């Protein structure tokens, strides 16, 4: 079989890979993208973890379950009541699958539009050759001078609790609960109170499951600003999520229809929890399975991630790596930014990713979003800062929405007033954070935000008020 030549071959069609492929094609390169993800019929399903078993399906289920929660608990305040409210879980999951498929198809369309050749199958190194690389792309052999690795990550296994996706679930199984049975688990256990634990725990708690989350760390949401983490812990507890911190899991035992977790609680007492389903969400590990990096001497670090420099260059000439398979936060938008930057660097341009202003969002209700430094990090650095906080309770739009939980908190340099971090817990925090990321990208001061006209009534006025609060001059609080 003849070898097909490309300027750039991207292995992995998740947000890092497919975006790198599109950007490289826009820049005039002859590009191929190889992705092995299969849909339920065995066909191609590009989009990676994000599209298939991550960002997109989790947000679809969060939306459905939030509608259900609103109808059951919040619409009555608006004078809207309904009898006999029911949830068809199988239909909810089927809708989620449709949303996933729309995104898969969207990426295949974008490949066509941008003239990216797509190979469905595994991509792997064969050998370094002629100043480039011979690769397998599914059943075909291809050659490229430039290779972008975007092979993503897999859920971390808890020793002694291997995923069976029936009783012990990774993110994959967690997003398929009720797909066949249409049933909501009565009791759901989650190991790890990170992003997946909180998002998935919220979905099933809203649908009626009794949710217990077991977390090893003594502090809740340690990566977030402490004041946000404290508020979140209070709200989630009130919602009925049972989050136990500082636990040590000793044993996980499966029965026919249940799982029992034996653990030591924070006080050192032996405890046992029996649940219908157990989600294990204790982080993710870089994925290089089947890449055959050994054939070309691709360097991995001690955690199995591909070693890259600040520009995403690996130890091999012409080989780049982006997204979850390299250092840094495992976020879709971080992967995308790296994908674009790498394509531009291949074209001799100055691709750039500002790692200091990558936003984080947790899509619980209230949503949690932040960018930049936390207050505890600034204290640890000994940096002089000023802090301004504004509660949604004092925002007219939040009152009209009936969603006044939380606040916006802005941290700015005490001398220069440059914004150093913004931390939001509350309605549409995921959208509000964009303004703050942009402000930080332009090195704005808190005064800049305070002087900008924000539409009334809007939640974004809370960001402006938080900026005013830095200078102790809020107008509405
Ligand atoms: P991936 O998306 O993992 O894609 C890698 C692709 O490469 C896969 O399709 C894989 O099959 C393919 N592949 C691997 N090896 C090969 C090979 N040898 N040959 C061919 N193909 C190969 N991030 C956010 O920013 N926002 C969110 O809301 C969010 N929600 C999430 C929810 C869940 C439940 C999970 C698990 C993750 C979530 N993430 C979220 C994280 C996000 O999904 C990842 O950061 C993102 O998908 C990483 O993109 P990537 O391109 O690096 O890798
Ligand atoms: P995570 O890193 O967010 O949280 C894992 C949690 O598990 C941590 O709190 C950790 O202390 C705890 N843990 C680790 N080992 C444990 C053990 N043995 N027993 C009990 N607790 C233990 O990881 P998670 O939730 O699995 O998500 C993986 C990644 O996926 C996230 O870090 C994030 O990058 C991405 N993601 C992003 C989302 C978003 O942006 N909204 C949504 C979901 C996932």
Closest C-alpha to 205, from 193, 217, 223:
193
* Closest Cα to atom 33 of ligand 1: 54
Q: What percent of the chain has pLDDT over 90?
A: 100
Q: Is pLDDT of 354 > 70?
A: yes
Altogether, the residues listed in the chain come to a count of: 477
Q: List the chain domain ranges.
A: 4-155+285-353, 168-282, 357-470
Q: Which CATH number fits domain 357-470: 3.30.390.30, 3.40.47.10, 3.40.630.10, 3.40.640.10?
A: 3.30.390.30
Q: Is residue 199 part of an annotated ligand binding site?
A: yes
CATH 3.50.50.60 at 4-155+285-353, yes or no: yes
What's the CATH code, domain 168-282?
A: 3.50.50.60
Q: Is the pLDDT of residue 42 over 80?
A: yes
86 pLDDT band, cuts 50/70/90, is very high
Q: pLDDT at position 39, please?
A: 96
| pLDDT tens by residue, 275-326 | 999 999 999 999 999 999 999 999 999 999 999 999 999 999 999 999 999 9
Cβ 10 under 6 angstroms from ligand 1? no
pLDDT tens, position by position, 17-39: 999 999 999 999 999 999 999 99
Phi, psi of 368 (to 5 degrees): -125, 130
In tens, the pLDDT along 94-146 reads 999 999 999 999 999 999 999 999 999 999 999 999 999 999 999 999 999 99
Q: What is the mean pLDDT of the chain?
A: 97
Say what the pLDDT of residue 69 is: 96
Q: In the β-sheet with 419-426, what is the strand arrangement from edge to edge?
A: 360-362, 367-372, 419-426, 407-413, 385-391
Tell whether ligand 1 has an atom less than 6 A from the beta carbon of residue 351.
no
> pLDDT of 204-263, one tens digit each?
999 999 999 999 999 999 999 999 999 999 999 999 999 999 999 999 999 999 999 999
- Which residue has the least CA distance to atom 23 on ligand 1? 331
Q: Which ligand is nearest to the CA of 54?
A: 1
Q: Write out the E strands in 1-137.
A: 4-11, 31-35, 117-120, 123-129, 132-137
The answer to whether domain 4-155+285-353 and domain 357-470 are alike in fold is no
Q: What region does 382 belong to: left with phi over 0, alpha with psi -120 to 50, or beta?
A: left
Q: Where are the alpha helices (DSSP H) in 311-366?
A: 332-346
Span from the CA of 325 to the centroid of ligand 1 (angstroms): 9
Residues with a known catalytic role: 456
**What pLDDT, on the 0 to 100 scale, is given for residue 270?**
98
Summarize the confidence of residues 408-413 as an average pLDDT. Answer: 99
Residues 440-462: tens digit of each pLDDT:
999 999 999 999 999 999 999 99
Region of 108 on the Ramachandran plot (φ > 0 left; ψ -120 to 50 alpha; else beta) = alpha
Pseudo-torsion of CA 355, 158, 153, 196, nearest 10°? -60
Cis peptide before 457 (omega within 30 of 0): yes
**What is the CB neighbour count within 10 angstroms for residue 435?**
18
Check residue 472 and give its pLDDT: 98
Q: Assess contact for 331 and 358: CB atoms under 8 A.
A: yes
DSSP secondary-structure letter at 212? Answer: E
Order of all β-strands in the sheet with 248-254:
248-254, 259-264, 270-275
Residue 333 in marked binding region: yes
pLDDT at 2 over 90: no
pLDDT value of residue 1: 67
Beta 385-391 vs 407-413: how paired, if at all?
antiparallel
DSSP-assigned letters across all residues of 402-437: T----EEEEEEETTT-BEEEEEEEETTHHHHHHHHH
Ligand 1, atom 45: closest residue by C-alpha: 331
């Amino acid at each position: 079989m003849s070898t097909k030549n490309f300027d750039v071959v991207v292995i992995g069609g998740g947000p890092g890979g497919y975006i790198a492929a599109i950007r490289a094609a826009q820049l005039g390169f002859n590009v191929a993208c190889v992705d092995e993800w299969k849909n339920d019929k065995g066909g191609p399903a590009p989009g990676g973890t994000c599209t298939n078993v991550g960002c997109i399906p989790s947000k679809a289920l969060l939306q459905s379950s939030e509608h259900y929660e609103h109808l059951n608990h919040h619409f009555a305040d608006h004078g809207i009541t309904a009898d006999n409210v029911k949830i068809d879980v199988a239909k909810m999951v089927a809708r989620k699958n449709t949303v996933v498929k729309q995104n898969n198809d969207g990426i295949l369309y974008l490949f066509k539009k941008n003239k990216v050749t797509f190979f469905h199958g595994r991509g792997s190194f064969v050998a370094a050759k002629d100043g480039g690389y011979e690769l397998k792309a599914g059943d075909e052999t291809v050659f490229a001078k430039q290779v972008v690795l975007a092979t993503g990550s897999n859920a971390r296994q808890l020793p002694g609790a291997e995923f069976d996706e029936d009783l012990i679930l990774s993110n994959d199984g967690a997003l398929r609960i009720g797909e066949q049975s249409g049933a909501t688990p009565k009791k759901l256990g989650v190991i790890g109170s990170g992003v997946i634990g909180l998002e998935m725990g919220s979905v099933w708690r809203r649908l009626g499951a009794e949710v217990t989350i077991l977390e090893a760390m003594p502090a809740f949401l340690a990566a977030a600003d402490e004041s946000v983490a404290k508020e979140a812990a209070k709200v989630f507890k009130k919602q009925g999520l049972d989050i136990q911190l500082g636990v040590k899991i000793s044993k996980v035992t499966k029965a026919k229809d249940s799982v029992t977790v034996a653990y030591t609680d924070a006080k050192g007492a032996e405890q046992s929890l029996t649940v219908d389903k157990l989600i294990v969400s204790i982080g993710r590990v870089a994925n290089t399975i089947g890449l055959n990096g050994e054939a070309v001497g691709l360097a991995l670090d001690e955690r199995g991630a591909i070693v890259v420099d600040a520009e995403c260059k690996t130890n091999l000439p012409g080989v780049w790596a982006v997204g979850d398979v390299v250092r840094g936060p495992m976020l879709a938008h971080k992967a995308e930014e790296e994908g674009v930057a790498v394509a531009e660097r291949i074209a001799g341009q100055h691709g750039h990713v500002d790692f200091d202003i990558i936003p984080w969002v947790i899509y619980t209700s209230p949503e949690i979003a932040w960018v930049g430094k936390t207050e505890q990090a600034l204290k640890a650095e000994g940096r002089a800062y000023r802090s301004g906080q504004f509660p949604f309770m004092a925002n007219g739009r939040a009152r009209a929405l009936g969603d006044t939980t939380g606040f916006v908190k802005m941290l700015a340099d005490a001398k220069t007033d440059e914004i150093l971090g913004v931390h939001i817990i509350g309605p549409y925090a995921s959208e509000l954070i964009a303004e703050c990321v942009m402000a930080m990208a332009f090195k704005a001061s808190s005064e800049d935000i305070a002087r900008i006209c924000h539409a009334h009534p809007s939640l974004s006025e809370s960001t402006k008020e938080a900026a005013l609060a830095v200078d102790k001059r809020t107008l509405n609080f």
